[in-house]
Every structure is written in structure tokens, then in C-alpha cells.
Structure 1
Amino acid sequence: MAQQGIAWLPMVLWAVLVPCSAWLTPRISFPEGSPGRPLVRFHRPDVGNTTLLLLSEDGDTLFVGARDAVISLDVSQEGAMGIRSQLDWSPSENDLQQCSMKGKEMMDCPNFIRVLQFLNTTHMYACGTYAFSPRCTYMLTENLTMTSQSSKPEEGRGRCPYDPYQRNTAITVDGELYTATVADYRGNRPVISRHLSPVDLKLDDTLGWLEDPTFVSSSFIPSEEKIYFFFSEVGREYDFIDKFIVSRVAQICTSDVGGQRTLQRRWTTFAKAQLLCQASSELPYNVVQDITDLPPPEGAPADDTLFYGIFTSQWSVNSGQSAVCAFRLGDIKATFSRNYKVLNRDTLRWSTRVQEKVANPGECGLHNASDNTLRFVKDNFLADDSVQPVGRSLTMVSHDKKYSHLAAQRVRAANHRDYTVLFLLTDSGYLHKAVLLEQGAHIVEEVRVFEQHQSTVGMQLSVSQGVVFVGTSEGVVRVPVANCSFYPSCAQCVLARDPLCGWDHLGRACVEVSASPASLGQDVDEGNVEQVCLTASLSPRSRFGLDQLTTGETVTVSVSLNEVVRLQCPGTSRHAQRTWERPDSRISPDLYLHPGDGSLRFVVTPATLGKYLCLSTENGHRQTLAVYHVRQKTAPPTPTPPARPRTTPTPAPPTWTATTPGGLNPASTTGVWSKISAEVRRHMEGVSAASAAPGTLRPTGPGAVTLGGRPRDPGLEDGERLPRARAPSYLKELVVVSVLLALCLGLLLTVALFAIRQRCRKRTAPQASDGRGGPGEREALRGEPSPRASGKRCNGHGAHGSQSNGQVGSAAPKGSNGHLPNTPICPPPPCGVTPVG
């Protein structure tokens, strides 16, 4: 029984995972350059690697950190992006040569901008890799020119990575720069530091603070006066497995100035904890890829701030490629307020032994604490508990896509409820738009923004402009967050379940919720079309919904018999089930093929002519997507000769019924051929047509009659007509003639074989005697030798095998040896040889 239960387990898991996978399938997919999803692109041949994006406070200017340049784009106009100003900042030839001499590729030696932050309303601060020798500079926001105080760029070690592919994060608070990066050429010294401050701080160089981290994001919480850093690193607290990666959140206080004696110019408020993105009975998604924060709704406490993150797994046994988890600020604060692990500086191993809690690590104001307290927080900076996700479950899981970046937005729908919309970027170049519902995530659409694989990508959401900016190595793409005009009907608008779109009953259009003050039709949670679109005339006059289609939506297809036809069905949604139906008959699987793309294929016959309807069923709503009328091509009219006053229609070939007699002998062959010749002659000379008067009924085919010289199908009612007159068929006549011809040939062959056999029997049979015999026989009877046989004997026999004591009767004589008299029993001797008697 236990083995049977284990055998059924994979089937149960498959049944559970398949609906989830289908649910997370994007409803609509737009390929690159699709007219249904217009995008705006910025690209210049002399500008590359436009991956670092920073949006101005008013949302009208997008600053782009590129290769050897910083660019400001005007994005205030909808559907357009243009350059306002550009700062060219590239290394010298000497710097490039030194970079190449260090063993680096020349393609990695330019100045890749990796830090771009606002210091105030007039100045910006930028840092670049600068040929593996980081440099930083001040610049004016208005025209992107370097200020006089930075005529010579300053060293950027500890503020910007050396390697352009090394990930880092930076944020400015009150004109001070907080960065998380590496501080050496080889990338072995990770550091979280503060710059441009009266008191610059960094982490203690003691081992154990950070273990080979990969920084992904940072966020400032004003109410807490704390900055949170998100990264992944090797978890040294797990000693049962080598290189076990864990995701972390670390915090520091902006008011920290370091200790007076212990931890001088070092962080006294640094603490970190594990972020656990894990489903039940599965290994955790332990590698964080990106984190974004979503402020709480208006009037809600700051503890309701959410951090949405993308996580992947270092193992391939997880059910999905990527997972999204949400963490609440209140839960992070609670984790930091509880117990901490103890680090043994000698063995560099962590323990959870219970000890007296001297201070609360991570608490602001510890820079004024005693040396004993600072030594405690120096050895106890890893929280014992992990931060659990909201609801202790995964927000969403992608089974076939790997996400790399995300942005979050809270949207007020038409029903005055708030919904969270996530914009997720896949490593294959698709931007997914997902809305989070109580029953799970619903992916509204996916848009292809780039095709080439990108090593570094940037993404920035502009709520004021209602667009998402995606920066790649080839340029910047502007993607509107809403695409309401794409949905032509109320049903499509409601089935999209997009909180940004609603159906305007008066204007009969799908519009953006924020742009329409009127009440709009919308159902984000259920997508109930019948309830929302009650005034949109959705009640069909027929079971096929033909009244929902305009006159021009019926497509007529003219085909020929025996032609293969493929009818396409427009795929409006991946969540819909498309089926084909005919108003007057059913679609048999023996005659029709259903490929996986939703089309219908069949061979044209008189039975497959007619109307075809492609129907779509989604979320319980059924609608007609396409109507086809397949008809046979009409033959061109035959011109009538003007000289002939009247034409006699050529009659259809008569239908013959051939009966084969049971015994057919050679004597009847002539009669059969006479009948065949007569029928053929009557047909070829038109005797039947000439002798038949108009209106006379005569046979033209099975089940059809001809009235007044025109064929008529008895199955059609008055006024109905076949799409095309069927061409005359001589198949039955041909079969009858062929059968009769085969019979006649077989009969002739039989007669010929019989005659040949009789002739052979006559040749081989002995001649009948007349009782008197020939001269030779009479001489033999008298005992006189024949002149031809004199002196020619063989062993006492004559030349013809007759013995001296043979008897003669009325039948053919036989010798005593049973042979015929004229048949020798031994060959004749050679000439000149006398046989011995």
C-alpha cells in the first residue's frame, strides 16, 4: 500500500502544478514590433550600454549612465524620447593601454558608469569603472557639465567596482553617498561604506562581516532613519554544505558616526538577517536577483512597507525557474529585535548559545555606547531568526521563465480597491505585467522589449508618466504600463482583468481608469463578463453569437474540390479554449484536423462546403472570433453561339447496370459485344438526347433527375441551388465496360486454351485401326519381314517393338511389354552395325 501511495504522488503533484502553471501563463503575448503594443526606442550608434537609469523627481527627465557618457533624455512627451544633453567621459589612450597590460580585454576597459545619484536639486554625482581604475565626478544637472571643483576626477575606490560586470548598489541621503561594492582590483574586499560625509564609515575589515556577497539593491526608510541593503552571500552558519548561498538584508543607521575607541570609523549599527523565500516541502529559493520597495497605502503605518524580491535557486530540483516573495518592514524589524547568533573569532563558526543580551544590535545610537557594548555588537551581528515572507508563502512562481529585474506599483481600480501590479523582466527579453489577486498572480500580458541576450540590464518605473523604462546595451525602451485601447469589446476589456483598464459604456471603449472620471465596467478579481457587460448587448440571437460580429467579419473562401484548406482562428488570449463548429452539421475528427495553433484543416468535398465558426471560451464566457464561408469556385460562363437559334443540352451519361449471366459460353461473346457497341454508339451520337422531348425524364445519375433539360437534385428545396453544378461523371459506365471487357477477354482466352488442348491431344493419341492394318502390319501378320525392318532386330524385338508372338485386335495393338507397337523400347543401332540376334 505504501508503494502504491508513492506511485500516485507524482500524479497528484502534476495535477496540482499544471493548473498553477496554466494560471501563470501570460494571457496575451506581444512580439517585438507588434502593432498592438507600440513602443518607443532610443538608440544611437555612438552610445552603448545604456543600463543605469535615474528618473528626475518631476518624471520629465531620464538620466542614463552609458559607456563613456552620461545622457539626459526628455521623456515629458508621450511617445517620444530625445536627448537634452550629453557628457562624454572616456579614459585616455594611456589609461586604455595600461588596462590592456593588466590582462583585461579592451572591450572591458572603457568607462562604464555604475553610480549616478542626485546630491541636491542642482548637482549630481557619478562614478565609472574608468579602465579598471574607478573615478568619480560632480556634474550639473541642467546641462551635465563637470563642476569646477571636479576638474580632475577623484578616485572612486570603495564607491564603484573595478569590473563593469561586478554588481553594486548606491543611494544618497541628505547629500551623503552610501554604497555597497568591492574595494580592490580582484574583488575580494566587499565593503558597505558612506562617503561625501563629515565622517566616512565602512565595515570592519575583520572576517565574517560579509562572505563573498553580491549586492543587488538598497532602500532608505525615512521613518526609521535606516538604509537597508539586499544581497546574497555564502552562509557560514550552515556548515553541513559547502558554498551554501543565502539571501540577506542588512541595515545601518544614517546617524551612525562610529565608536569612540572600539569600532572607530566603523559601523556600530550594522546587522544582517536571512531572507527566506521558500515553499513548503521544497528547497528555498536562496539567491536574490533584485529587490524593490513599495510604500504603504495612504494613511497606513510605515511598517506596512513591502519589499518585493526575485529569487532563484542554486539547485535544479525546485519546481520553478524564479520565485517572487514579499517581505514586510514590520517583520524585518521584529527579526532584528530578537536574538542573535554568536561568532567565534578563532574558528569563525556561529553558535546560538544563550547568553546575557548586553545590547540590541542594529539599534541606532550605539556610537555613544560603552566599549563592552560595542564589542558585543561586533560579535553578534547575525540575527538568529530568518525573515519570513508575507503569508509564509511564495507570491508567485514562474515555471518556464527566469526573472532578473522587477518594479512594483499600487493601483486604485474602478471599484476603489487597491491592487499591486508587478513588472517583471525576463532574461530572454520579455516584460511581464502581473496583478496580484487573492487567488494568486494573474499575468495580464508579456511584451518583447529586446532579443539579444543582455549581460546587464536596468529598469525604472515612472508612475507619473505611466511608463516603464528598460535600459539595455542597445538603447532605452519606453513601455507604457497600460494598453487599454487594444481591447475592442467590453468582454475583452473585462477578461484582461487589468486594474488600469475599464470599459466605458457610453463611449463604448476600453480606457484607462485614471483618465476617466466616469464609472467604468471592471472586474479584476473574477472577470465576470455577463455581470459587467450587461448593457453591452452581449445576449446573442443565436447559440453561435453571430450578432456580435459586424457584416465585414464573415470571410468568404472560394476553393476547388479536393483542395486542402486551412482556416485560421485569431488567438486573442492564451487562457481561452478555441473550438470550431458548423451551424448545420458536426465536425467529425475523421474529416478534420486540429493543429496546435487553433486552426482547422480539411479536404474540400461537397460535404465540407458551408459555414465554419471559431468560438472562444474563457472564464465561462463564450464568444465568436471568426466566421468563414467556404464555397466552391464558380466556373466562368460559357458564351452562347449567336448563330444557333437553340442549343440542345448535352445529356449526362446514362447509368448502366450490367448483369453477368451465370454461364457464359463463347457463343454469347458476340452478343455481349454487340450490346456494348450499341450503348456506346448511342451515347456518342447523342441518340438519346435527340429523341428525348423537352420535359422528358431520363436518368442522369444516382438519385437525380433532369427536368426540362436541367439536372435537379431531389434533396434541394425550391429556390435552393448547389454552389456549383456537379461535373458529369462516367465512373460507373467505365467500371461496367471494364468488367465486360475483362469477362470477354477471359472467355476468349478460355476458348483459345481449350482449342490448343484439343490439338495437343490429337497429336499424342494413337491412330485408330480399321481392322485391316497397313501393308507393314499385314506382312508382319503373315510372318514376312518388312523391307524397312528387315535385318533390324533388338533382343528379339522388331524395329517397332513388336514380338513374334504379339496378338492383333481391333484396337491399337500392344506388345507383351505393354508398349505401343510403333514405339521402340531401345534406340536404333548406328548405321552399318548389325545387331546380334
Structure 2
Amino acid sequence: MVHSASLCACLSLLTVLSCHSHVLPRLSFPIGNPGRSLTVFTNPDVYNTTTLLLSNDEGTLFVGARDAILTINVSQSDAMTMEKKLDWSPSEKDLVDCAMKGKMKMDCHNFVRVLQVLNSTHMYACGTFAFSPRCIYINSKTFAMAIGPSGKPEEGRGRCPYDPYQKNTAITVDGELYTGTVADYRGTRPVISRHLSEGSHVDLKLDDTLGWLEDPTFISSTYVPSEEKVYIFFSEIGKEYDFIDKFIVSRVAQVCTSDVGGQRTLQKRWTTFAKAQLLCQADQELPYNILQDIVSLSPPEGTSEDETLFYGIFTSQWQVNLGRSAVCAFSLKDIKKVFTGHYKVLNRDTLKWSTRVQEQMANPGECGLHNASDNTLRFVKDNFLADKSVRPVNQGLELVSPDKSYSNIAAQRVRGAHGRDYTVLYLLTESGYLHKVVLLKNRAHIIEEIQVFQQPQQVKNLLLSVSKGAVLIGSSEGVISVPMSNCSYYWSCAECVLARDPFCGWDPVMKLCTDMHTHDHLVQDVDEGNVSAQCTYVSSMSRSGQSRTPSTVCPPGEVLSVSLNEVVHLQCPEASHLAKRHWERLNSQLSPKIYIQSDDGSLSFVATPSTLGHYLCQTVENGYTQTLLVYHVKQKSNPTILPATPNHPPSTPSTKAGNKTPVHTPRLIAPRQTEPRPEPDDVDPTVTLKDSPVATTHKSRNFTRLLGMDKENSRMTEPGENLQQADKLSYFQELVVVSVLLALCVSALLMIAVKSLRHLYHGRTVLEAPSSRRDAENGGSATPQERESLRGHSPRLEKRNGQAPNGQAHNGKSPITLSNSMLNSSNGHLPNTPM
């Protein structure tokens, strides 16, 4: 059994990794990157700004902090200013009492955990208040403490947790407060209750008997007006499962707002309480059973409220899924269906659950049971756990993060092109990154990830200001506002379409990527991201009249002069995490025996006559290929000969640094990029390629790099023509160089031959000594010294290790010295530059 369980776990892990490995953020923005602006509110006297509440007009943000409540003006999307601050600190006696209970001094402050709008004139707030919860009323106009019905601050037990680290939930409906928290100092008495009841209503809570809640962790709550029900979401120990270890399950519970408790049975207790399991599980996988956060998304206009969706973040207690998160969606229709079905029965003696077999006396969870008989209410008291679980929409997971643990979520419905609605999720990771996700058919696409924290922070919730277009995040160190859209970052139609952001569309008239709500004729393809179908109008026409797709158009080239046998490094920047980079040569293949393509996209090789030429840095994303950079690698020429430079559009600024020419390159995002990304249009930022003497410059987001300008004929030409012209000029220059070197070589050979003849003639005209003739006549009986002397006047020319005849070195005085570079340059081989 153990081996079988392990095998199943391994298969589940492999299945998950294979199915969800493609879920990767397209772009990454490290903190401080100018490509993604953030607005941060911090104050040296304010801490733990975690509880957030937006006003009805979304112009004011109410913040519950440590020992204070703030109002922040968020009417401007790029600024947050504190307007008022209400101090609410424990007294010295409260702090001393808290310390005597054995609590840390830093935990004895008043952490505001409940902040709700009570009515049109007042707000209601509750805080931990040195482990002795308190609640106050706040006048909305004067933002000052108001006197409640009791004339003094109210006790917060059952409304707010004692411990600032315990999770809780609270919501107000018609001036009444519905909470889920703990009602004792030790945190062992969980309770779902109603407070501030008015009229015929009375304050209600769960019965104190065991079984209603099992060590829960409260997450969130929401109100559905058509149902007149409050739904509470939490995690707890699932007692219905008979496991050795404690098995945690996620729950949704409901109570009716019209509930007033029973007349005799369940007096001042809920008669409509019911709960069911939320099952976030895909086929043949272990469930993600621990709920971290959940948010409701209202249905589209004109549809039933049953189409309300609840998007939740789930993690797993199983070792095989540790460090991973899943997002599941549940519909209100499915929740209602489960609550109207069968229920399990709890044996109060053994505290064991079983499937009910007795006659159903009532439907638990149904509103209006407060007038039922005692037998019916006793039946409801023992039958409040639904038999079936609520399964996710489409019976699957919306998203699985293979290496990120999500902690908070927010959801929004966005109207895209052609009136199509898309669901956008904002997911905050525990490591401090905000993921912006759009849900497509049967999969999810992470548009971008934005780093909002340097260190992990305690975050209670995320708020969306739809009218201001901002995501508000309250953390322990401050409040951060993140713009929902970042359309101006995408510089071309291709990038705007590949982003697949429902907020953004390409304007073919203005030639820029802009927000969808500003125009109706924008180009967008969120579902497919098909660049060829959406951006055909940017194609250029060749002289033959045939259209060219954007992928075949090359930007102007960067001329890189190198010496032979020099190691060349060419950098290819990263367009996105989903794009694959590769290198191309015109009419040539990149052999792995000669070229090294690294994981960072760079290309390395040794400069030889055969490796000189043009190199194209290209990326492929979603079937679309685009050329980012073109390098023209050429040999360093004679300083007296001017190098060839490709043609540029008239608007391109020129550079005077050596043989370098400017190349227009798009703004590219890379997770390891250290250079700041350009933002303003009137700035000329320079991106320096690592390990390469190449500098690339661009001036504006609206790039006009697809076509070159023929200045002489005043017409638009293709970039290929520029490259051909440069090649022709390069051939002529090198032909001149080769001819000169050939002439020099012939002259050198002639001079060497003349000198050799002179030495030969001089040796033959030397008079022989009588002793030499006698020795010759006697058969060569010369002494060794004489033979050595004669050998020194030999007419043969020898040259060893740079020594001239007679053992004398040239010492650089030879008329012509042939170096290796000259030989290589005169071997008749021209650089392999394609036509």
C-alpha cells in the first residue's frame, strides 16, 4: 500500500508538471523598474496598514493600521496622500496587563482588524487592543470617534480576534455585523455570529456544542442579496474523514439574514447554518485542500445572480504539492445545488459522521426555519454538513503555479474588443510578486509579474479601484497602488497583440498601444494572439509588388569591426519569457562546431574569413518570428579606407564612436536586466550589450525601423537592399586591398631573387688560395678549420628562425616583411558576406 501510494503521488506530480509547465509570466518587472510604475504610501509614524476599505466613490481609502485609522486620498492614480489620522492606542495600563499575560510587547498594540461602513453616517471598527478586543463607532464626516448606544467603547469579543496574527472575516448587511472569529483569549472557541441587530432581529451565534466548527481558519465572507444569505469561507479539520492524520478541508457555510433563532430549541442560535466542502481537485490528482483566499465576481449585466463566481487560492498539505498553489472557481448555482441536496448526520455520542438514512424532516440551510417545531430544529442541529462537495467550474483547475505560493486574490471582468468579456485575476505571491492573469479557454495566460515587495509582507486583502484603474495592496509597511494596465510599454503592433492583455489594443492610426476604453477601432486578439492576422497592415511592399510579412523585415544592421582570430560575442536580448531566441545567417548554417549559442541568447565564435558577415537575432513567440537585432561582423580595414555603413531612415541619429552605427532595438524586458528601461519619449536611452562593443540606441517607442530610406532617389527601400549595397562596397574595397598586397608580394620576391644572385656571383668570383687548390688536388685533405672557413663562404642562402644568411638577423630592416595578417588577407578568399 505504501509503494502504491508513493507511485500514485509521483504520477500525480508528473501529470501536474506536464499539464501546467507552460504557465509562466510573459514579462517580469523587478521592483524599481521604470517600465512598470508603482505608487507607494508610507509614513514613519504608521505601521501595519493591512485592513483596507474603499469609499463608495472610490476616491478615499480607509486604512486600519496599528493604533490608528487613516484616510488616504486615492482620487489620483499616481499619488496617495494621507488626509486624516485617528489615533486609537491602548493605555499604559492595557499594555501592562497584556505583558503580564505573557505576550510580546510588539503584539500588545491595537491592530485594527475590522473596518466596515455601518450606514450613511457612521463606520464601525474593531481592534485587538492589547489582547482585549474593542470596537468603536466613527463619524464619517468628521472622522472622529462617536458615542455608541452604550455610551462607551464596546467590547469586541466575538467580533474581532484577540491575537493580531489570527485570521478573521467581517461584513455588514443593513447595519448588522456578521463575523467569523474566535471568542476567547486562547483562540479555542470559534464562532460565526451576528451583532448590532436591530428591530425584531437579535444577536445570533452558533451553538456551543461540538461539531459545528473544527478548529477553523476564517478567510472571507460575502453577501448575496437575491438569496438573502451571507456565505462564509474557511478551512477546518474534516472530521467526516477517518484518517490517522488530521485532514484539512475547505468549506463554504451559509446563514440567512432573516434568521432570528428558535423559540425554544436553538434560542439565539442559528437555525439556518449549513456547510459544505469546496473541492479544488483535478482528475487523477491529489486535492488542493487548504483555502488561502477567495473573492466573489459578480455576473455580467443582464444575467442571473446564479452565475456569480467565487475564485479561490488553494494550497495542499501533501508533500508532493508543497510550495505550489492552485486557483479554482465555484459558481453560486453549484453551491445552491449542494445545499439543497442530502446531508450527513452527526452522532453526538461518537462525533462520527455518516450518510443520513432516516426520513428528511426539513431542508437544512433553508431560510424561515425559526418558526419550525422543536423536532425539526433538533434535526437541523444534527444535519448541517452537506453530503456532496462543491466541485469547481468545468471540473478542473483554472491555474496551477508550479513554483509560486499565492496568498491573496482579486478578480475583475474586463470588456475587450468586439464586446468580449474576459476575467482578469490579480494574484499576490508570498515572495512579493503580483501576477496579472487573464483566463482563456481551458487555460490561463500570465500577462506579467510585478515585484511589489522586497521582503515577504503580511497582506490581509487586495482591493480593486475599477474607476481609478488601480490594484490596492495593504501591507505591514505601507499601501501600494499598481496600475491595472501598462499599454504604453508595448512599442509595436506585434508586441501589443502578443501581450494578450484585454486592457490594451493597437491603434493603427496613431501607431501606438493604448487602453481599450479610449477607442473602438483598436486591434486585439486576447484568445489567440495571432500577430499575422491582426498586424497585416504594417507589412511593407517590395518593388516586385509582393507583400512582406513583418517577420521578414530586418532592422538596420550594427557594424562590428573585429580582428581575425578574435573571439566575438553577440548578445540577443530577451523579448519575453515565452519567446525562444535563435540566430540566423543569410544563406548559411550555424554549425555547432564553430558557433556556441548560450542559454542567455548570446552567440560566440572565432572571427575568420568564413565567419564574417551578417547575423540576425530572432525570437519566435506564438508562431510569430521577429528580428530584434542585425549584426554586420567585418574585418578591421586599413585606416585610410573608409568603412561601409548601411543606410538609415533620415530620423535616425548618427554616432561618431569608431565604426559603430546605430540600430533601433525595441525595449526588451529581462529578469536579470540591470539597465533602467526607457519611459519618456523625449529621452534617448542607450542599451549596452554585455561582453560586446556594440551600443544600440533608440529614441522613441514608435519605432520606424521596418523600412530604409534611399536618400538619392528619395524613395523607401527594403532593408535587404541596404545590406546588398554595403556588401558591394565592401567587395570593391577588399579587391583594392588584395591587389596592393599582391603587388607588394611580387616586388618582395623580385628583390629577394636579385639579392640571392648577387651573393652567388660574389662567391664564384673569389680567388682560391694555393693551399686550397692543393688540398683539392690531393683529394680534399683540408684541415677542419679550413673546411669550416670555406663552409662560411657557401653561396647557399639559409634562413632559420628569422636569421638571414651569414647568421645575421634582419632586425626589421628588410624592405618587405610578410606578416600573418597580410598573408591571410591575400589568400584570395573574401569574407562570406551573402549578396
With normalisation by structure 2, the TM-score equals 0.76
Higher RCO (Cα < 8 Å, 6 or more apart): 2
Residue in structure 2 matched with residue 139 of structure 1 by the alignment: 138
Secondary structure of 1:341 counterpart: strand
Residue in structure 1 matched with residue 162 of structure 2 by the alignment: 162
Residue in structure 2 matched with residue 809 of structure 1 by the alignment: none
1:794-818 Cα deviation digits (max 9, x unpaired): xxxxxxxxxxxxxxxxxxxxxxxxx
Residue in structure 1 matched with residue 121 of structure 2 by the alignment: 122
Secondary structure of 2:376 counterpart: helix
Aligned pairs (5 A) from 1:153-552: 153-198=153-198, 199-318=202-321, 321-516=324-519, 518-537=520-539, 548=553, 551=556
**d(CA) in 2 for partners of 1:403, 1:231:** 16
Q: Is the 8 A contact 1:23 1:442 kept in 2?
A: no
Matched, 1:678 2:805: yes
Matching residue's letter, 2:805 = A
**d(CA) in 2 for partners of 1:281, 1:597:** 37
The 1:673–1:229 alpha-carbon spacing in structure 2 relative to 1, beyond 3 Å, is farther
How far residue 84 of structure 1 moved from its aligned partner, in angstroms, is: 1.6
Secondary structure of 2:186 counterpart: coil
Residue in structure 2 matched with residue 106 of structure 1 by the alignment: 105
Matched, 1:53 2:52: yes
How far residue 92 of structure 1 moved from its aligned partner, in angstroms, is: 1.6
The 1:343–1:614 alpha-carbon spacing in structure 2 relative to 1, beyond 3 Å, is same
Q: Is the 8 A contact 1:682 1:688 kept in 2?
A: no
Q: Is the 8 A contact 1:704 1:714 kept in 2?
A: no
How far residue 557 of structure 1 moved from its aligned partner, in angstroms, is: 3.9
How far residue 56 of structure 1 moved from its aligned partner, in angstroms, is: 1.1
Secondary structure of 2:389 counterpart: strand
Secondary structure of 1:410 counterpart: strand
1:420-458 Cα deviation digits (max 9, x unpaired): 111111111111111111131111111111121224443
How far residue 589 of structure 1 moved from its aligned partner, in angstroms, is: 2.0
Secondary structure of 2:306 counterpart: helix
Q: Is the 8 A contact 1:609 1:631 kept in 2?
A: yes
1:496-553 Cα deviation digits (max 9, x unpaired): 111111111111111111122x3111111111111111112267899996885655xx
Matching residue's letter, 2:221 = S
Q: Is the 8 A contact 1:422 1:435 kept in 2?
A: yes
**d(CA) in 2 for partners of 1:701, 1:103:** 84
How far residue 598 of structure 1 moved from its aligned partner, in angstroms, is: 1.6
- Paired residues in the alignment total 683
**d(CA) in 2 for partners of 1:241, 1:672:** 105
How far residue 411 of structure 1 moved from its aligned partner, in angstroms, is: 1.2
How far residue 46 of structure 1 moved from its aligned partner, in angstroms, is: 1.3
The 1:42–1:654 alpha-carbon spacing in structure 2 relative to 1, beyond 3 Å, is farther
How far residue 257 of structure 1 moved from its aligned partner, in angstroms, is: 0.6
Q: Is the 8 A contact 1:320 1:397 kept in 2?
A: no
How far residue 626 of structure 1 moved from its aligned partner, in angstroms, is: 1.7
Matching residue's letter, 2:453 = F
How far residue 144 of structure 1 moved from its aligned partner, in angstroms, is: 2.3
**d(CA) in 2 for partners of 1:538, 1:106:** 70
How far residue 619 of structure 1 moved from its aligned partner, in angstroms, is: 1.0
Aligned pairs (5 A) from 1:4-83: 14=14, 17=16, 20-83=19-82
How far residue 279 of structure 1 moved from its aligned partner, in angstroms, is: 1.2
Matching residue's letter, 1:141 = S
Q: Is the 8 A contact 1:169 1:179 kept in 2?
A: yes
Matching residue's letter, 1:36 = G
Matching residue's letter, 1:207 = L
The 1:653–1:286 alpha-carbon spacing in structure 2 relative to 1, beyond 3 Å, is farther
Q: Is the 8 A contact 2:524 2:534 kept in 1?
A: yes
Q: Is the 8 A contact 1:654 1:700 kept in 2?
A: no
Q: How large is the Cα RMSD of the aligned pairs?
A: 3.4
Matching residue's letter, 1:134 = P
How far residue 109 of structure 1 moved from its aligned partner, in angstroms, is: 1.0
Q: 19-28 or 58-67: which moved more?
A: 19-28
1:321-359 Cα deviation digits (max 9, x unpaired): 111111110111111111111111111111113111111
Q: Max radius of gyration: which structure? A: 1
How far residue 681 of structure 1 moved from its aligned partner, in angstroms, is: 6.2
**d(CA) in 2 for partners of 1:349, 1:317:** 29
**d(CA) in 2 for partners of 1:602, 1:100:** 69
Q: Is the 8 A contact 1:191 1:203 kept in 2?
A: yes
Matching residue's letter, 2:171 = I
**d(CA) in 2 for partners of 1:425, 1:193:** 30
The 1:413–1:702 alpha-carbon spacing in structure 2 relative to 1, beyond 3 Å, is closer
**d(CA) in 2 for partners of 1:209, 1:9:** 32
Aligned pairs (5 A) from 1:609-624: 609-624=612-627
Q: Is the 8 A contact 2:541 2:548 kept in 1?
A: no
With normalisation by structure 1, the TM-score equals 0.76
Q: 671-680 or 281-290: which moved more?
A: 671-680
Q: Is the 8 A contact 1:544 1:624 kept in 2?
A: no
Matched, 1:714 2:828: yes
Q: Is the 8 A contact 2:41 2:479 kept in 1?
A: yes
Secondary structure of 2:213 counterpart: coil
How far residue 7 of structure 1 moved from its aligned partner, in angstroms, is: 11
**d(CA) in 2 for partners of 1:654, 1:544:** 56
Q: Is the 8 A contact 1:113 1:127 kept in 2?
A: yes
Secondary structure of 2:412 counterpart: strand
The 1:615–1:113 alpha-carbon spacing in structure 2 relative to 1, beyond 3 Å, is same
**d(CA) in 1 for partners of 2:403, 2:569:** 31
Q: Is the 8 A contact 1:291 1:307 kept in 2?
A: yes
Matching residue's letter, 1:532 = Q
How far residue 246 of structure 1 moved from its aligned partner, in angstroms, is: 0.6
1:706-733 Cα deviation digits (max 9, x unpaired): xxxxx8563459xx99xxxxxxxxxxxx
1:109-156 Cα deviation digits (max 9, x unpaired): 111110000011221111111111111101122342111448742210
How far residue 21 of structure 1 moved from its aligned partner, in angstroms, is: 3.4
**d(CA) in 1 for partners of 2:531, 2:791:** 79
**d(CA) in 2 for partners of 1:8, 1:246:** 21
**d(CA) in 1 for partners of 2:795, 2:384:** 113
Matching residue's letter, 1:115 = V
Matching residue's letter, 1:47 = V
Residue in structure 1 matched with residue 757 of structure 2 by the alignment: none
Identity across aligned pairs (percent)?
Answer: 61
How far residue 565 of structure 1 moved from its aligned partner, in angstroms, is: 4.0
Matching residue's letter, 2:527 = D
Secondary structure of 1:375 counterpart: helix
